[in-house]
Amino acid sequence: MSPGPFRIAVLGCGAIGSLYAAHLARVPGVEVWAVDPWRDHVEAIAAGGLTVTGQAAFTAPVHALTSADGLPPCALGIVATKSLHTRAAVTAARHALADAAVVSVQNGIGNEELIAEVVPRVIRGTIVTAGAVTAPGTVRYDAPGDSWFGPFEPQPAYPGEIGVLAGLLSEGGLRSYAVDDARGPQWTKVVFNAATSPLAALTGLTVGQVCTEPALRTQVEILIVEARAVCRAAGIALTSDPAEAVEEAIREAFGHRPSMLQDVLARRPTEIDVLNGGIADEGRRVGVPTPAHDAMVALVHGLERSWTSR
């Protein structure tokens, strides 16, 4: 590392961004700068640090801003915004990320392509940790989970940068791995989320309820079968069986409301286009039909339109 603090920018300070920022800020020599438009959250972090509760309990010093204008040059960038805000967030911070490797830890497929339009080197990332911001300046760490990082193939970060990111997060308390091909972990998460989240969003049921209601479980399995066919055609090796993830969710996260359901309840635009839409787009690219995923996209967009048509 160069003399002085090793600066990392975190764009988006929701649950995942906050957990990443807090754990990285625990590492000696690391200076974390977080950007989020939620003023109350930012002001609380700036005044008293970012507090983690739940699976861990500590407060870490984090520089927090409501605008990227004040970001200093950073060695690494972490994009943790909703996918709808990817391009705007990275573009606003491009002065600070001009010579940085930038990773997406967002949901879905296609965020890396947007980031690569703005910055020189990109990391493909996946995280399965869960949490929630419970009050300004406080994030609850609900469920531990590993992170995987690898090069974004068309515009990769240097291997050393990927290793540094994984090493710093592990040192801060979030177990992370640098891998040669991060598509497997990324798509493993996407397949599970795309098979359960839209059904939860459309019905108002939790993940566990969706996966145990027989008629809905049939739809979950159809969505998984289609997605696995896309992965085979694209040469993507999943790291685990999505059916096992379904059983694990029933056991360990029965009452979990996925972010798409939370968006629907708040009448916010969802990330359907980068989940089921991302699978459908890749299916068209490799010649695999995905009618069930296409149906989820159409139904969720129809639900979104109903909020304004009323």
The CATH number linked to 172 is 3.40.50.720
> d(Cα 54, Cα 66) in Å, to the nearest integer?
26
Q: What secondary structure letter does DSSP report for 115? A: H
Q: Give residue 310's pLDDT.
A: 60
What phi and psi, each to the nearest 5 degrees, are found at residue 205? -90, 155
Distances (CA, A) of 70 to 7, 29, 295: 13, 20, 43
Q: How far apart are CA 118 and CA 308, in angstroms?
A: 33
Enumerate residues 6+ apart whose C-beta is below 8 A from 282: 109, 230, 234
The whole domain housing 101 covers 6-178
177-191 burial code (b ≥16 CB/10 A, e <16): bbbeebbbbbbbbbb
Three-state DSSP at 11 gives: strand
Whole-model pTM?
0.89
Farthest CA pair distance, the chain: 59
My answer on whether 294 and 258 are in the same domain is: yes
In a domain, 255, yes or no: yes
The two three-digit tokens of residue 170, written as one number: 């592990």
How many residues in total does the chain contain? 310
Supply 150's token pair. 């690898």
Domain end among 178, 205, 224: 178
Residue 236 CA to residue 229 CA, distance in Å, equals 10
Inter-CA distances, 94 with 63, 171, 182, 276, 301, Å? 18, 27, 24, 29, 31
Strand order in the sheet with 121-127: 63-65, 30-35, 6-11, 76-79, 101-104, 121-127, 147-151, 176-178
Q: Are residues 171 and 187 in the same domain?
A: no
Are residues 2 and 30 in contact, defined by beta-carbon separation less than 8 angstroms?
A: no
Is residue 1 in some structural domain?
Answer: no
Q: How many domains does the chain have?
A: 2
Looking at the structure, do residues 62 and 143 belong to the same domain, yes or no? yes
Burial annotation 124-134 (CB, 10 A radius, 16+ → b, else e): bbbbebbbbbe
What pLDDT is stored for residue 35 in this prediction?
Answer: 97
d(CA 74, CA 298): 40
**Mean pLDDT for all residues in the chain:** 94
CA distance 107 to 196: 13
Residues of the chain below pLDDT 50: 1-2
Domain holding 206: CATH number? 1.10.1040.10
pLDDT at 132: 86
Asked whether residue 199 is domain-assigned, the answer is yes
